[in-house]
Every structure is written in C-alpha cells, then in structure tokens.
Amino acid sequence: MAQPDSKKIFFENLSGAGKAIAVLTSGGDAQGMNAAVRAVVRMGLYVGAKVYFIHEGYQGMVDGEENIREATWESVSSMLQVGGTVIGSARCKEFRTHEGRLKAAYNLVQRGITNLCVIGGDGSLTGANLFREEWSGLLGELVDQGLIEADAVQKYSALHIVGMVGSIDNDFCGTDMTIGTDSALHRIIEVVDAIMTTAQSHQRTFVLEVMGRHCGYLALVSALACGADWVLIPEMPPEDGWEEKMCEKLSATRSRGTRLNIIIVAEGAIDRHGKSITSSLVKDLVVKCLGFDTRVTILGHVQRGGTPSAFDRILASRMGVEAVLALLETTANTPACVVSLYGNQSVRLPLMECVQMTQEVQKAMDEKRFEEAVKLRGRSFENNLKTYKLLAHRKPETELPTSNFNVAVLNVGAPAAGMNAAVRSAVRVGISEGHKMFAVSDGFEGFYKGQIKEIKWADVGGWTGQGGSLLGTKRTLPAKHVEKIAEQMRKHNINALLVIGGFEALLSLLELLTARGKYDEFCVPMVMVPATVSNNVPGSDLSIGADTALNAITTTCDRIKQSASGTKRRVFIIETMGGYCGYLASVGGLAAGADAAYIYEEPFDIRDLQANVEHLTEKMKTSIQRGLVLRNENSNDNYTTDFIYQLYTEEGKGVFDCRKNVLGHMQQGGAPSPFDRNFGTKISAKAMQWISKKLVETFRHGRVFANTEDSCCLLGMRRRALVFQPVVQLKEETDFVHRIPKEQWWLKLRPLMKILAKYKTSYDVSDSGQLEHVVCNRPRDLDASVAM
C-alpha cells in the first residue's frame, strides 16, 4: 500500500498504555450510537488502552458490578449496522444526587478508569462535567470512608471527559449534525414519500407530526427535503393570522393542479403566544376552512428506530476515533470537551460552552425572542429556514423584481440523485429574483438541438424526491457544437448558465470559457454545481448524489453480510462504481465495516493482496464469521474483481469460502437521500444568488458582458465553507487523464477503516480537531454547510 508521508503520526507516539477508557450511552437512544461505541472500543484497544463498557448509562455506573465490563475487539463485531445502543441507555435519578455520584466514582476507581467517553444529549454531558468537577472531592470522601487507599487520590487525581452528541433532534449547539439526526430524517422521508402516493390518489391533505419538543430541525429539514406546503416549528412560531395564510397557500397550490398537500408539524410547535399547535388542531383547521379530506400521521418512535444511515455511521466512527485521540492528549487542566462536526471537519469544543449556548436557545424561546433563537441555533439552521421560505412560498407577481434576465439550467453527465432537487431550487430562486428561467433537455446535446423551453414555478412541484434527471442528461461536450449552441443562446437571449453535473460539466465550462474568444454569447456568468455519484469533481469535497450512492452500497453490503449468517465463514468481494475515484469504495467501506478497500489512488500489488488475505484468514480463525472487501471498478487493470475473488477463494481454502457482487447502476438509482435533497437545494439556491449578483455587476450599455475568469465558476464545498472557484484555476488541481482531483480529502479516512479492521497502520493527526470556542467567528459562507 502507499507509504505514509512525514506528516503522519505513528501510533507508537499516541500510546494509551496504562490508561483505562470507559464508554457509555445515556439519555435517549439514537441510530449510530453503536458505530461510535465500536470506534471508541477499537481505537482504544488499538493504542493499548483498556476499554470498558458501562451498560445502562449512568445507572450502570452507579450500580457497578456486571454493568461495567471490559470490552474486547470481538465484543463490538456486527454492531455497526444495528440501530439504538446495544450497551443500553437509561435515565438515572440517583446520579443526580451526590450519593449516587460517590458510588459511581468508587466503581470507576476500583477499575482504574479515569477517562470517560459519554455519548448522549446536553443533560448527559452536563452531568458528566459536574462529575468531573467533583471528582477530587469524591475521592477524598471515599478515602475518609475507608473505601479506597489514600494513594489512589494521587494515582487517579483527574477525571477526563470527552462527549459525543447522540440525539435525533440535532438540538445541540456547536455541531452541524448530531449522531442519529440523518437516520431520523431517512425514516421521516421514507414515510413522506410513501404518504405522497396515497395522498395523490385521493387528493388528500396530510398533517405529519415529527419529533422535536424544543427543536424544529427535523420538521424544517424534512419540509425542505419533501417540498412541504407548510411547516410549524418552535423556534419560529407563525405570525398571528397564520391560519388564514396557511389555508390560502393550500388552496392556491390545489388551484394550480396539485392533488395533495403536506403539512409538517414539530411536536413542540407553538404560536406567538406560547400556545401549543398540535397536528389535530391543524387538521381540524384545514377541514373547517377548506373542506379538504385531511389525515394525521404521528411518526413517533419510528424516527428513533431502524438501521443507521451511511452518514451517521461515518460521522459516529470519525467522532469515536477523535474522542479517543482527545482523551490521549488531555491533561489535568484540559476542560471537558465535545467532539463536533463543523462543515466537513471534526473539531473539539469546550463542553460547557456548547451546553450554555444550547440553554441560551431555550431561554430566547421562553422569552419570545424568536429571531434570536433561530440565530443561536447556528447558520445552518438559519439558512435552512431562509431557503424553505424562499422555495415554498411564492410571492405575488406584483411583488417580484423585474430583472429581464433569462437564465438557462441544464444537467450534464451521468444522472445523480438530487439533481432534480437542485433544478427545482434554481428555478424557484431564479423566479423569486425576477428572472425568466429556461430548462434545457438532454444537456448540451439538447442545447444545440434547440430543446429549450421556459420553466415555471409550478412545473418543478414535486421534483425534490424524484431520482435521476427529469430534464434529461447526456455526456455530450459542447466543443463540437459551439456555433449551434451560441446560436441558441442568441435566439433565446440567454444571459446566464447554471450547469448541474459531474466531471463532464467541468470540462464543458472549460470549453465554453475557451469559446468566449470567438463567441460573445458565452460572455455571460456561468456556474457549475457538482452532481455525480463518483464524487470526483475537483474544487468540492462533496457532490450531489454521492450520499445516496453510499447509502445504496451500505444497505446492500448489510444484506449481503446478513445472507451469510448461520453459514460457514464467508468473504464477500464487492465492486463499486466511481471510475478512477475511490470515494465510494473507501467511504462505503468505512460505513459498511469492510476489511479492505482497493482503489486506484492507493496503489497495491500482489504482496498487499496476500497480506490482506492472511490478515482476514487470521481473523476468521479467531473471531469473525463474515468478511467484506470492496474494490473500485478501475482500481487496477490487472487485479480485477474476478482475480481478487479467485485469489481469496484459493488462499482461503479450508478457512472461508468466497462470493462476489458487482453493484453496478443500482448505485445511481433510487430516490435521493435527505442529505442529497437538502445539499442540492441549498447549493443550487446559492449558485442562483451568485448568478443574480453577477448579472447586475456585468450589465453594461443594455447587455450582459462577462469575460473575466471569476465569471465562470464552480461552487464547491471546501472543508468548512461553500466556495466559488474560477474553473480555470481548478486545472492545476485536476488529473484530467483519470478524471479525479490531484488531492482528495477522504483519503485521510482510509486509515480509520484499516484501524477499525485491526490493521497496523499510521494515522494523520495533523487535521485532528484542536480545542476551539463556540463563540469564535465562523466563515460567512458556512451558512450553507455540508451538514444539512
């Protein structure tokens, strides 16, 4: 395998020898908690620490005995795909008392545990911090009572706490996403998509109640993801008279030919006077005012259940490893911290700063400072709300600005789930900005053939949840047809282009940029939004469609592994898509718990293959019953999927047998995941706002003329922010032969997969989260962060 560079730190320098780490889950359960527990256990064992499970949360810590057990590598096998928490969670009144915490301290000291990894909500983390502050005093009391020796006070002088937030509500300030939120959104959207078909059949209105007593994140984001007609959340109660406005909106939607209405209500929704707005109240209102056939569906604990999504597994695995690193680096003076996701990066934040900020939100809501409550939730929440209002509520024609600009939108390259959500967003934002929007069918092939027509607000209704590309998409590049395309641009007076697609979209913009020298028609603002399952577009860490493909891979791998349960030991060889880009194989491997993932970016030879087979053989003899190996379709010309299958079959004789699967185009199909719907919606809205700004800047002497580099850009996610980058500047970052970026952030996740599969490897900690502060200034562009 590729050799580690000098920046990578070997684990000899990150020794946990002599340390004892305990992991517990507390409060409400959330999908992905098991992935976090697995990562903490395996990373802790990897660095030489003793790791303990504390069963049943703080109750188990207080009760001790069999509730605190030493963990082994095998004890966390086959739990990655399991929802809930296998080590149990319970709310503990006794831990809230001093006597309860004294018992807990005694039980930890008896086992030499001074490092705690707590997975839970703000209440659980606050309790952990209080425990840490009282620790030395508790040990003193235990000495006075003769329960521990005096030297134990010195030996176990400090308790170190690292928290991970497990909560489906995403109600914790300081992190873009909490463990479990994405999976809960999957459950909600699955229900909404199913309800939409029956609602359409009977022309019904459905009122859906989702969880969120104090936080409207699930309601807001699911409304954004399904294009709901109305949403009610506790942070931003509707203005007085909302009942009439809502009914007018529902009536107007029906009058445009729509056969259904969806209203989403957070369980904690209130009006401006603090009065509860229930789903039954909303139903009665619709029936009374409009006479629509209306039904209520309360999702309840369905949202907590089920298999964790790929996003939650990866998030939890990254956080679990980061939590162990934080515990290894902590000192007696290090404050308790929480491991968070910020943009696309792991960060560490002081636990109590996050808790206090979270409490400030509730205080602002209690005092009816609702605008402030929304801001305190963070830029991501605030941007979700703005985007929803922009897309769901159409302004009257008289209130729309008149720009007299024509903007064309098209899909280029292979279809990707989420493309339609991006088109819908672009069309509606464009109309809101006063532009006339044009849809181009079948990419640049349709462009030069004149397949261009105006697209209206209602035309994109219901597009958010549709897979594939409703506009049609082709891989045709524009270079051979620039003259005809320029003619169509002139004919339809196109003043700007929004291109949604993969690597072909980037090549297309570069060709149109070159054609500016000959055709003034291309001297208009042009922007590309990356959309490809391969996630191989330079200038962006993520592409629309990649999350849906990852979920398809993860779900399939779960089923394939389950097919071997109860049989003899078996290894599965799975081939993924991606061209030369190993993103799907690597990140899919991390989410599915793979033992190896072969990719082009990390060259391998027969010795590596042999080492992998031997490693897997050894594991099969001692513990696991099933093995999983992923291979990117173009990882190596000679070591094909068939070759690797035959090699593993031959070398594993007598220990395991082998099966192979080529996943193929199922990775491109299906309804888009909640992540891709929202990422596509928000990134496309931002792209249209950029176009509007550029049109104003470049309009001179009665025409638009834009010929500078910065008028032809790609909008991409870079670490912590969305960034517009001139496509010409991305040339140097691109390997055009293999159609991949020269540097790819996700390669740093590969060691995690290897560590969690029990390989000896090195891990780059140069990007590990350093302790930051919640109140520090965030980049302006983070308002459309990668986390929904």
Mind telling me the catalytic residues? 169
The torsion angles phi and psi of 134, rounded to 5 degrees, stand at: -85, -10
Residue located via tokens 């030991």:
569
Residue located via tokens 């990422």:
679
Contact 499, 508 (CB under 8 A): yes
CA distances from 237 to 271, 275, 539, 695 (A): 5, 10, 39, 36
Sign, CA dihedral 455-459-465-470, equals negative
Q: Could you tell me if residue 462 is left (phi over 0), alpha (psi between -120 and 50 degrees) or otherwise beta?
A: left
Taking residue 213's Cβ as centre, other Cβ atoms within 10 Å add up to 12
- Burial category of 362 from C-beta neighbours within 10 Å (exposed 0-12, middle 13-18, buried 19 and up): middle
- Residues contacting 710, CB < 8 A, separation 6+: 724, 726
What's the CA gap between 473 and 467, in Å, rounded?
A: 13
Q: Which value, to the nearest 10 degrees, does the dihedral of the CA atoms of residues 416, 420, 423, 429 take?
A: -130
Contact 308, 81 (CB under 8 A): yes
CA atoms within 13 A on the CB side of 667: 28
Q: Following DSSP, what letter does each residue of 721-764 receive, concatenated?
A: EEEEEEGGGGGGGEETTTTEESS-GGGGGHHHHHHHTT---EE-
Using alpha carbons, select from 576, 500, 584 the residue that is nearest to residue 536. 584
Strand order in the sheet with 626-632: 596-598, 626-632, 570-576, 657-662
Contact 176, 345 (CB under 8 A): no
DSSP assigned state of 600: T
- Residues contacting 681, CB < 8 A, separation 6+: 224, 225, 387, 391, 421, 422, 424, 425, 464
Residues in the chain: 788
Contact 351, 127 (CB under 8 A): no
What's the CA gap between 486 and 495, in Å, rounded?
A: 12
Helix (H, G, I), strand (E, B) or coil at 40: helix
DSSP assigned state of 179: B
Containing 164, the helix (H) or strand (E) segment is: strand 160-165
Containing 700, the helix (H) or strand (E) segment is: strand 699-700
- Residues contacting 152, CB < 8 A, separation 6+: 109, 139, 142, 143
Containing 641, the helix (H) or strand (E) segment is: helix 641-651
What's the CA gap between 605 and 602, in Å, rounded?
A: 10
Residue 272 tokens read as 């401006």
- Residues contacting 145, CB < 8 A, separation 6+: none
Interaxial angle between packed helices 370-377 and 379-392, expressed in degrees from 0 to 180 and rounded to the nearest 10: 120
Contact 227, 196 (CB under 8 A): no
CA distances from 398 to 224, 424, 695, 704 (A): 26, 22, 22, 25
